[in-house]
Each structure stands twice: as structure tokens, then as C-alpha cells.
Structure 1
Amino acid sequence: MELEVRHLRALCAIADTGSLHKAARQLGMSQPSLTTQLRRIEYAVGGQLFARERTGCRPTPLGRTVLSRARPLVVEMRALITEARAVAARAADGAPQLRIGSTASRAIPGWLRRLRHRMPEADTSLQMDVSANALLQMVAAGQLDIAFVHEVEGSPLRLPEGLRQRVLVEREPQFVSLAADHPAARKPVVHLTDLASDRWMVDPTVDGEWDGLQRVLREAGLSPRVLHGDYLTAATLVATGEVVTVCQPTSAARPDMAVRPLYGDPLGVRLLVAARTDAELDAVYGELESAYWEAAAEAPSYQDWLLGTRGTAPPPCPTLDRIPTPVPPIEQAPAPARLPRLATGRVPPPDLGPAAAQDLRPTPL
């Protein structure tokens, strides 16, 4: 017997109601049928999932393990059905669609806000994924229109044939996130040796990140214990001092968590956006560029890094009503694109002069 979504839904209903009788009513089936189905499920997984007690049904340790995996799948399936129905309804209405895929980025909220402002008639959807390669494949297959992804240094992405790409940032340094009371948090720049006794956490499902962190730690002569987990869990453990983790420079610091650059910028990523045509890139790139630098202006540690790189202010981050037209793509930009590359290999952001620096005071979080 292979478990199906309906079986997982039944397990969740039993756990939520604590009763086979109530779960059967919720599922619209008879109690004997649900009991038979539960026995088959237990036979398939090889153990008892619920302890039948006088007061009802209680998950066994095996049951709790299965439920921890079943619940997200049931929720995702519900969301999939709801979204599919909504997409079908909108398609029937003939509204233009803009399907965006992205890996995690603080620029996304500002990007979507700007796109809604400029293209209010478009039905814009967003799909997040930890795998940049998966998103690029979806663009090539026509399932997405645009993908905004990051490429970890040393782990090139597999760009499908025929896709057009535009680089937003050639090399974005990756910072470190650590507890606010960590001794290294008192420093403006953290050396990897300052974290020699710490445990690290990394999400191994993010393309290239585990390999990148391994390389950086190995080159520093460190072999700390590394935990695997998603970055939402990592943020919680960082705040309590359990782990440290690599993070994006635009990450927001919190009262219980600090974000600092790593000495020498040992790990970097390339930020790029991909589509099937140049016209699709032109339609969204300006808003993305503005949104990215807006997010950068809200990250004091990143601003300090940028100022240290150029000795001048990063580009201004205008509010929405100050963006009449999209910003020209990088390859069409005038002077900034021809600025000399720094010895570190960074490509500095455009310098718009001292007046722009006045617009870059950190925005309160």
C-alpha cells in the first residue's frame, strides 16, 4: 500500500480531533471505514500510529514522527489546489500574468510593491524555492516568467539553453549572523577564528551553500560541528547562542541577533535575474534594482561595508513615488558600469555623489 494525500489527511484529522468517531464525521466517512483505513496505514508504515484509550486516540512516538511530515504535505496540497483554482479563474478572465520565482531575498517585498505600482493590471504571482537551479528550469519550461536567484561562489548554476540573464550584483559578500551577546558581535568585522568554538548551521538544500561553507571553513583551518536545518530554525538558534550562520548582507539585525561582515569576505554570491527574452527582463529589472538598494539602505552593516569599499555612499534608495521609470539595465548604464574593478573583485555600486548620501540614513527597523 502506498500512502496518498487522503491517508495523510485522515491521520491529521484523527490527531486533531482525538477521536476516530469525530475524525470520521469531519472526513465524511463512517467510523468503521476510517478504522479499517487506519489499520492499513499502520500496516504500511510498520507500526502503531495511535494508542486507543478510553478517552480517545493519542499519537504514539511513531505517530508523532509521521504527523510531523504529514501536516506540511497536507497544507501544501490544500494551498496547491487553492492556488490552481485561482490561477484558472484569473486565466479565464484574461488578466495578464507575471509569474516570478525567487530564492530568499530582502529585496522581494519592495520589488513586488514597485511592480504592482507600475503594472497594476498584471496578476503577479510569486514562487519561493531554495533551489536556484529548479527555478531556472521552471523558467525554461514556461512555468515561470522570471527567476531572481543567487549563485554561490564556486558552485556555478546550470543555466538552461536559451535563457537570457542579467547580473544584478556581481559579487555580494555573505555576512555572519550571531547572537547579540556573542563576544565577536562587539567587533565591526568578524574573523572566522573568532567563531572557532561555535557550531554552524546551514541549509544543505540551498544550491551550493553547504559546499561554499565547507570550503570557507576548510581554508580557514577550521572544522567546527555543522548542523543542518532551514534558515528560519537557524535564526531562532542564532538568537539563543546555539549556532552561528552565514547570512545575506541585507539581513535585518534584531535586538537578540547581530549581523556582521566576515574579514576578507571569504564567501560571495552572484545575484542574477533570468527570463526567456530580453523584453521580459526589461519589464522587471529596474524595479528589482531599486528594491535591492532600498533593502541595502536598511542594513547598517551592509552600508558600512559599502562605504568602506568605495569611501563614498552607495546609490540612493528613492521612495516609490520618486521612480518614474525603470532604472536602465547594468549593461546600458553609463559611467558606473565602467568604474574600475576593485582588487578584491567586487563591483562597486554606482556613486551618485555626496547629495545622495543624505538619503541613506538607516531606516529604523
Structure 2
Amino acid sequence: MDLEVRHLRALCAIADSGSLHRAARELGMSQPSLTTQLRRIENSLGGQLFIRERTGCRPTPLGRTVLSRARPLITEMRELVTDAKAAAARAAGPRLRIGSTASRALPGWLRRLRSRLPGTETSLHMDVSANALLRLVASGQLDVAFVHEVDGCPLRVPEGLAVRVLVEREAQSVTLAADHPAAANPVVKLADLADDQWMVDPTVDGEWDGMRRMLQAAGLNPRVLHGDYLTAFSLVASGEVVTVCQPTSRPRPDTVIRPLAGDPIGVRLFLAGRAGVCEPDLDVAYEELAGAYEELGK
């Protein structure tokens, strides 16, 4: 087996995340597939690269040696691809490739950008993983990315990215059924939701860890259902679950959105782009994003 850049990238992802499960999610593949790939790499190199433990994976001495050589190679390849894509983009005409996690500000942001940059082709790439979007910016596949970072769960911002913070900390709210007893209150206490089942999307970076930390701090150990938020909102309306949501979200039929007492969980909202190369685009994108976000509060 000849080692390829994708194999080196997989090794770095395992080392950086400390987990085959998290690395597989970041790489967009299944954990069994990544495990098989790792086994083949180790067989090819003739030694074990990671020690598997209950708490995750850590590099062996051989693994550390391989990683020390792999990281510079990946960086050089990333820079080569980034420069090539930038040259191709200049030849094709102006364009702005945007990445984003979910936000109600997106329609207004795109509208404002197209008005501000009438000759620029604007595209949008959505992903639940903020870390995946940041990697796409670093590799030159996106120009900017609008992401959120959950309290206590810092994102891995690749080297070479510039960041513009939109909101340092936005307190999150809770969405619950309109006929829930706590819905009558303008502000909901976590203790009022002690008997409820919660729902979270674990594929959203930091979401599950942040919510678990919030519930533990309140002394709660509720049942938790994992699933996507589109399904969650349907279950909220039927009274099956409650879930954390953005304060700018609009309530769906038969649901209400309420702030949580004490603001126990929040997110930092920021825009990222490649330093130097895309900073003019980053500045324009930030200005129009700030304008679109301000419109949500009017």
C-alpha cells in the first residue's frame, strides 16, 4: 500500500481529535471505514500508530514520528491547492464562496452581498459541522465561513485564518410545546424542565458537550434523544422533547421559544477567512453579515 495525502490527513485527524469516531465524522466517512484504513496504514508501515483506549486514541512513538513528517507535507499540499484555486478563480472572474452553519441571517446576508457585489458570483455551502467549514476555508474550497462556537467547546481554527467576531456570546434559548406548563413563563428555569426529555444533534460541533455540561451544572440528568433538529422541532410540537435553540429562531406551529434563566449556555458567532489572501472579501462579508444580523432584531 502506497501512502497518499488522504492517508496522512486521516492520521492527523485521528491525532487532533483523539477519537476515531470524531475523526471519521470530520473526514466525512464512517468509523468502520476509517478503522479499516488505519489498520491498512499500520500494516503498510509495519507498526502500530495509535493506542486505542476507552477514552480515545493517542499516538505511539512511531505514530508521533510519522505525524511529525506528515503535518508539513499536508500544509505544503494545502498551500499548493489554495494557490492553484485562487489563480483559477481570478481567471474565471470574481466569486465569493460562503460556508455557514444554520442561521436565520442567511437570506438577508446573501441579499445584501448580491446588492453590494453585483458582478460577483455568490454561492452557499451549508454544513452542521463548524470545524468542517473552517477546514474548507483553510484548504481554499471556501472563501469565508460563518460559524458558531459553543461555550466550553472551542473550535479548531486552522492556522492562517483571520477571524471577525460578530457576537462574543449569544445566550441560547429553549423551544418547547406551546401547552407545556413552563411556556406560560417569560423566562424558563432549567429546574422546570427536569422531567422532560431533551433532544440534541450530536453532529453539530460542541452541541452535545455544551448541553450536557449545562444540564449537569443544574443537577439534571434527563433522558436525551439524539437526532437532527428538523425532527426535533416536530417532536417539540407534540410535547415529546424540549431542545436548545438560537434566540433568533422563529417558533414553529404549536411551539414557543423562551430564554433560559441565568443564560446557562451561549455561543460565539464569528466569520473566518484566509488571512491576507481573502481579507478584503472577509471585511465586506462581515459588514453585510452584521447588517443582516441587525435586521433580525428589528
TM-score (normalised: structure 1): 0.55
Residue aligning to 2:223: 225
- Amino acid paired to 2:138: A
Counterpart of 2:109 in structure 1 is: 111
Could you say which residue in structure 2 is the equivalent of 1:79? none
Instruction: For residue 221 of structure 1, give the secondary structure of its aligned residue in structure 2.
Output: coil
Output the CA distance in 1 between the equivalents of 2:96 and 2:280.
13
Alignment map for 1:206-355 (pairs within 5 Å): 206-277=204-275, 278-295=279-296, 297=297
Deviation at 1:94, TM superposition (A): 2.9
**How many angstroms apart in 1 are the aligned matches of 2:157 and 2:284?**
20
Give matches, 1:1-365, under 5 Å.
94-277=92-275, 278-295=279-296, 297=297, 360=298
What amino acid is the match of 2:186?
Answer: P
Give the secondary structure class of the aligned counterpart of 1:169.
Answer: strand
Would the aligned equivalents of 2:134 and 2:145 in 1 still touch at CA under 8 Å? yes
* Residues 233 and 252, structure 2, Cα contact 8 Å, conserved in 1: no
Structure number with greater CO (CA < 8 Å, separation at least 6) is 2
TM-fit CA distance, 1:93: 9.0
Q: What is the DSSP-based 3-state SS (H/G/I as helix, E as strand, rest coil) of the residue aligned with 2:241?
A: coil
RMSD of aligned Cα (Å):
1.6
- Equivalent pairs counted in the alignment come to 208
Aligned CA distance change for structure 1 residues 255 and 232 (closer, same or farther; 3 Å):
closer
Q: Per-residue deviation at 1:293?
A: 1.6
Deviation per residue, 1:59-102 (Å, 9 max, x gap): xxxxxxxxxxxxxxxxxxxxxxxxxxxxxxx9799342110000
Counterpart Cα distance in 2 of 1:235 and 1:101: 24
Following TM superposition, by how much is the alpha carbon of 1:294 offset from its aligned partner in structure 2, in angstroms?
1.3
Kept after mapping to 1: 8 A contact 2:96/2:281: no
Residue 109 of structure 1 aligns to a residue whose secondary structure is helix
1:255, CA displacement in angstroms? 3.8
Deviations 1:138-158 (A, max 9, x none): 000000000000000100011
Give the equivalent residue in structure 2 for 1:3: none
Partners of 1:136 and 1:93 in 2: CA distance: 25
- In 2: Cα distance, 1:262 partner to 1:180 partner: 16
Measure, in 2, the Cα distance between the counterparts of 1:238 and 1:98: 37
Residue 270 of structure 2 aligns with an amino acid whose one-letter code is L
The one-letter code sitting in structure 2 at the alignment partner of 1:271 is: L
Could you tell me which amino acid in structure 2 is paired with residue 99 of structure 1? R
**Any idea what SS the aligned residue of 2:142 has?**
coil
Please tell me the residue identity of whatever aligns with 2:197.
R
Letter in 2 for 1:183: P
Aligned counterparts of 1:130 and 1:94: Cα–Cα separation in 2: 29
Amino acid at match of 2:165: V
**Which residue identity does 1:281 align to in structure 2?**
L
Q: In structure 2, what is the Cα distance between the partners aligned to 1:211 and 1:178?
A: 21
Q: What SS class does the counterpart of residue 143 from structure 1 fall into?
A: coil
Say whether the 8 Å CA contact 2:134–2:157 is kept in structure 1.
yes
Secondary structure at 1:177's aligned position in 2? strand
Whichever structure has more strand as a proportion of its residues is 2
- Residue 204 of structure 1 and its aligned partner are, at CA, apart by 0.3
Shift, 1:276, TM fit: 0.6
Task: Provide the TM-score with structure 2 as the length reference.
Answer: 0.68
Task: Tell me the amino acid that sits aligned with residue 217 of structure 1.
Answer: L
Give the deviation of 1:239 after TM superposition: 0.8
Unaligned runs of 5+ in 1: 1-89, 298-359, 361-365
The SS at the match of 2:281 is helix
- Local SS of the residue matching 1:260: strand
> Which amino acid is the alignment partner of residue 190 of structure 2?
L
Instruction: Encode CA deviations 1:188-210: one digit per residue, 9 max, x unaligned.
Output: 00000110111000000000000
The 3 A distance-change label for structure 1 pair 161 and 93 is: closer
The unaligned stretches of length 5 or more in structure 2 are 1-87
- The 1:92–1:137 alpha-carbon spacing in structure 2 relative to 1, beyond 3 Å, is closer
